[in-house]
Structure 1
Amino acid sequence: MAVVTLLRTWSRIAGRLVSKSLQGQIVQFKLSDIGEGIREVTIKEWYVKEGDTVSQFDSICEVQSDKASVTITSRYDGVIKKLHYNLDDIAYVGKPLVDIETGALKDSEEDVVETPAVSHSEHTHQEIKGQKTLATPAVRRLAMENNIKLSEVVGSGKDGRILKEDILNYLEKQTGAILPPSPKAEIMPSPPKPKDRTIPIPISKPPVFTGKDRTEPIKGFQKAMVKTMSAALKIPHFGYCDEVDLAELVKLREELQPIAFARGVKLTFMPFFLKATSLGLLQFPILNASVDENCQNITYKSSHNIGIAMDTEKGLIVPNVKNVQICSIFEIAAELNRLQKLGSAGQLNATDLTGGTFTLSNIGSIGGTYTKPVILPPEVAVGGLGTIKALPRFNQKGEVYKAQIMNVSWSGDHRIIDGATMSHFSNLWKSYLENPGLMLLDLK
């Protein structure tokens, strides 16, 4: 079950809870099932400490699974009595996160309950006495650190959303303190030139190296890569490489960039690569399929959910653009912009990272020319794109001209994909990019 669906389920349950007086009762707060088969997460940040007072929907901590970042929120008004984990510890689904001393338990059936999970990329909502308070986890944490109740703050954002400025203005009114302005860079005078003096000759000493090795557990996205690559090792890979002349596509993109910019979209070459891939998959659907563990059945996927490998500070992640087969170039570009922004901030949710049916790895964005891409199970094919280089080539008249060459490398599951099929697909994909006008003929 996806994170968003789980949040909605908890919201419905919370609406039916019956109050029960348990003055001074210690409640163990469990880590709930956040879906996608995730059984353990890493504690990345605590928003509370022992002795802190929390209200319903206040942020408790941020956890990192091998798929997404998730913020855990409180379901009680009470006092934090114990944190069961330290930073970077592994927490397990169904085990206690914190102990809370609460005056009124919100569930009439059990004393030990699980905490709802909220996607880190979404805004948190708070229901207090029939009023909805909207604020991000960062704003809630700022309010909590200054003992400010969000219900007493008037939000100036859209739909009454409470912003950081609203918290600071409220704090200023309550304390009478004037917040200091942001420091500005000062122009420092250049230091005086040293006077002529004798330069001492240092005594030569043998260098001493004091560094020590360190061992760290594999976790987060790295742990996900271990699982995926171990499964990929069982697949017999078939490789196929070719080069593509993108001269015409380079011209077309230059013409369309101002239009895309006016629409607020950054237009790269990748949307064209994805659309050409989708058109090719319509002709060769076996490349957009999956096989069961024993390779007895093939499932042909109706949606073209094409993944894009991204290199982030937290490791390699592969979000996917959903239903490329019904999207325009501009719609694909806009969705890529969204995924790249969230990916850089580490805020991609589980929906963005799951459900892929085919993958493209753009190693050329880093500078590579050739690669041997590895298939991501349960997919059966993957493409690796190299950097675009201006190189000399011959035309049909034997004349040398300036070409924009990109190398592409395909890998297919050789149990169900033969070399001829991969070659035909690659040739079709290549024709769309070398003559981008052909894509208009086949667009649905």
Structure 2
Amino acid sequence: MEVKLHDIGEGMTEAEIVSFLVKPGDVVKADTPIVEVQTDKMTAEIPSPIAGIIGEFNVKQGQTVPVGTTLLFIQNHSDSENQKERLISLPPSQHDTHQNHLKRILAAPYTRKIARENGVEIENIKGTGLSGRIIDEDIYRYLEQSKTQSINSSLFAEKQQEPSPLINEQQDDTIPFRGRRKQIANNMMHSVQTIPHCTHFEEIDVTDLLQFKQNLKEIGRDISATAFFLKALSICLKEYPIFNAQLDIEKEIIIKNKEHHFGIAIDMEEGLIVPVLRNIENKSIQSIHVEMKDLSKKAKENKLSVKDITGGTFTISNVGPLGGSFGATPIIQHPQVALVSFHKTKKMPVVADNDQIIIRSIMNLSMSFDHRVADGASAVRFTNRFAQLINDPKMLILEMV
């Protein structure tokens, strides 16, 4: 029987083979994880469709293959007694090897990639993460220990022979263009080639919000500024639902989504990922803050499910902590209509109503929208309303009552 790569996520066309969790000859039960793959949005395990014996592999680790590709073959082995007899008939040493091979090595795809690129056998690493999971730091620690041992060996050898280089490093100036990075590129190209992007830039006074946030922190309620931003955006979307819509070209209609499912762009070492925080219109700012932290933690641990990364109706990107003073043109997540990006906040002199110069905390915002669906005037009204809510946090709270 052929085990093929099936569609495990919205819009998925291909995936990278991260690792095989079994070897030819292994006996597995139905639903046993046998292959780990990575798409542009998530890491997932392909389970065995039947109980049987693993046969020949049809693809290689690290290879990127399209949906429908045969990954490996499995021989139907429905007679459980035969399975048991086969295992019992193995010599003890072989039986132990068989069992050890079925034991999964817990490590994220990017961690495995670090190990592969540095020639490290990941099976030799002792994981210090949750449940013995191997994390990036474990690989780097192993490399550092190996490097130290190599230097010590070289220093010892120098005393007995002519000096030689301690470390022979080879500079690698190429980066594999596959897996998540390739999928991100494909998605971005599709978006910019399909959607006529228009970007509106705005300055948002966040002085009073930051003070309100500090007041809450002093009474034990530490809530991120982003949680306030998301709630304010949700209020704006209720008033300007055109930005929470989807264009159906074939049916010639614009579908306004009543539910606010926000994609939250998270910067990962292996590429951008956008988990979805659902039904923000019904959530408190505190709930948004907590769920946002949970999603970010799941993303960094590669534990996002298909539901966690699909169904977004609007996207936000918070690049402010990284810097960037003037904003950029963020690319919309097709088939969504708009994306808002928050940029660096800095203190600036501002002319007050009484013509006095005061210092305020100003954040730059950029909003890209699909010009087929919405116009610039609507985008200006949308960001003006957002600025009004953020300028006066009390108004934001009143809108939630």
TM class by shorter chain equals: 0.7 to 0.9
5 Å-filtered alignment, 1:291-306, equals: 291-293=247-249, 296-306=252-262
Q: Which runs of 5+ in 1 are unaligned?
A: 1-26, 107-141, 149-162, 166-184, 186-190, 192-201, 203-208
Q: Is residue 84 from structure 1 mapped to residue 58 from structure 2 by the alignment?
A: yes
CA contact (8 A) 1:229 1:376 kept: no
Match of 2:378 in 1: 421
Q: Which residue of 2 aligns with 1:136?
A: none
Map 1:229-240 → 2, pairs under 5 A: 229-240=189-200
Aligned-pair CA distance for 1:212:
6.4
Native 8 Å contact 1:260 1:330 kept in 2 = no
Aligned partner of 1:331 in structure 2 is: 287
Match of 1:62 in 2: 36
- Which amino acid in structure 1 is aligned with residue 100 of structure 2? E
Structure 2 residue 391 is the aligned partner of structure 1 residue 434: yes
Q: Which amino acid aligns with 2:324?
A: G
Q: 2:215 aligns with which of 225, 240, 255?
A: 255
Displacement of 1:404 in angstroms is 1.1
Structure 2 CA distance for partners of 1:86 and 1:253, relative to 1, 3 Å: same
Among all aligned residue pairs of Structure 1 and Structure 2, give the percentage whose two residues are the same amino acid.
33
What is the letter of the counterpart of residue 62 of structure 2?
D
Tell me the C-alpha RMSD between the 2 structures: 3.1
User: 2:232 maps to what in 1?
Assistant: 276
Aligned partner of 2:22 in structure 1 is 48
- With the length of structure 2 as denominator, give the TM-score of the two structures: 0.72
* Structure 2 residue runs without a partner (length 5+): 81-96, 104-129, 133-144, 146-151, 153-162, 164-168
In the alignment, structure 1 residue 342 sits paired with structure 2 residue 302: no
The Cα of 1:218 is off from its aligned counterpart by 3.1
Deviation of 1:285 (Å): 1.1
Call closer, same or farther: CA 1:436–1:57 in 2, change over 3 Å. same
Distance apart, 1:291 and its partner CA: 1.2
CA–CA distance in structure 1, aligned partners of residues 373 and 172 of structure 2 = 49
Query: Is the counterpart of residue 97 in structure 1 residue 80 in structure 2?
Result: no
C-alpha deviation, 1:260, in angstroms? 6.3
Q: What is aligned with 2:400?
A: 443
Q: What secondary structure sits across from 1:230 in the alignment?
A: helix
Cα pair distance change 1:359/1:93, threshold 3 Å: closer
- Residue 145 of structure 1 is matched in structure 2 by 100
CA contact (8 A) 1:253 1:267 kept: yes
Q: 1:270 to 1:237 in 2, by over 3 A?
A: same
The alpha-carbon distance between structure 1 residues 294 and 53, as it changes in their structure 2 partners (threshold 3 A), is: closer
Larger Rg belongs to:
1
Alignment partner, residue 367 of structure 1:
323
Q: Which one-letter code corresponds to 2:348 in the other structure? A: L
Question: What one-letter code is carried by the residue in structure 1 that aligns with 2:59?
Answer: Y
Distance in structure 2 (CA, Å) of the matches to 1:54 and 1:353? 30
Deviation at 1:77, TM superposition (A): 4.3
Specify which structure has the higher proportion of helix.
2
Partner of 2:94: none
Residues 105-254 of structure 1 correspond to what in structure 2 (within 5 A)? Answer: 144-145=99-100, 214=174, 216-254=176-214
Matched, 1:288 2:244: yes
User: Of Structure 1 and Structure 2, which has the larger fraction of its residues in strand?
Assistant: 1
Matched, 1:312 2:268: yes
CA–CA separation in structure 2 for the residues paired with 1:58 and 1:348: 19
- Retained in 2: the 8 A contact 1:363–1:371? no
TM-score (structure 1 length as normaliser): 0.66
| Corresponding residue SS for 2:186 | helix
What letter matches 1:88 in structure 2? G
Q: 2:231–2:280: 8 Å Cα contact kept in structure 1?
A: yes
Aligned residues: 325
Is this contact kept in 2: 1:314–1:346, CA < 8 A? no
Deviations 1:302-361 (A, max 9, x none): 011122211112211222211111110011111111111112123322222221111112
Query: Which range is displaced more, 226-235 or 343-352?
Result: 226-235
